[in-house]
Amino acid sequence: MPDHSPNTGPTPQEARGLPGDTDRPGFLRTAFLFEGGLLGVAYLLGWLTDIDPLANLRADGAAVSHGMLGTLPLLLLFFWSYRQPHPELLKIKRFLLETLAPQLSLCRWYDMLLLSAVAALGEEALFRGVLQPWGENHWGWVGGMLVSNLLFGLVHFITPLYGLLALLIGVYLGLMLDIGGQRNLLTPVVVHGFYDFIAFWVIIQTYRAESAQ
């Protein structure tokens, strides 16, 4: 008689050592909980410091335009550094391809778009919505930039160079907060989210190309 029992063998992805589609919900759930949790941390710190993390978040077409245009310098930096053979840059690239890319490769484009948006909102609410104003209240504008971005670099400290790049990107996002003459958190949120989405897409394409070899 033919065997009608379920096929419990590995999928083609699993046979090549890649995560299967069944891993996607778990990865997304963990990612959204973590990134969304940063918004909760922002509100907790905001409550302790009497700062509303989203007080300066306003829907505004100019802020979106500034954000989209403001992403271009970061993307140029990303594409340039991604192709450089410098050992420290290659170390960052391999880390992303070996730890983040396998899970991201399971995602649909709309998963990545939503994840990028949630990550951008959570991180910007915390670092630009609470920590930067808190630092400004105590030590002025320079103090706000230093406090928020030293911490931003620290939490992204995968390697010393990655932490330094994150610090500099954080400074740039802090400057984008006030671009146009009126503070609006939407601008760095758009920059951050759009940058993450494009970076995710590039990392996934590299990972899939390497996996197919």
CB atoms within 10 A of CB 199: 20
Measure the CA–CA gap between 119 and 109, rounded to whole angstroms.
15
pTM for this predicted structure: 0.88
Burial tier of 4 (Cβ tally within 10 Å: 0-12, 13-18, 19+): exposed
What is the tens place of the pLDDT at every residue in 194-204?
A: 999 999 999 99
Domain ranges of the chain: 26-211
pLDDT of residue 2: 44
pLDDT of residue 6: 43
What is the tens place of the pLDDT at every residue in 132-151?
A: 999 999 999 999 999 999 99
Gyration radius (Cα) of the chain, Å? 20
What is the tens place of the pLDDT at every residue in 179-189?
A: 988 999 999 99
Confidence bin at 106 (pLDDT 50/70/90): very high
DSSP string, 60-73: -HHHHHHHHHHHHH
- Cα separations (Å) of 127 from 22, 54, 124, 167, 186? 34, 11, 5, 11, 13
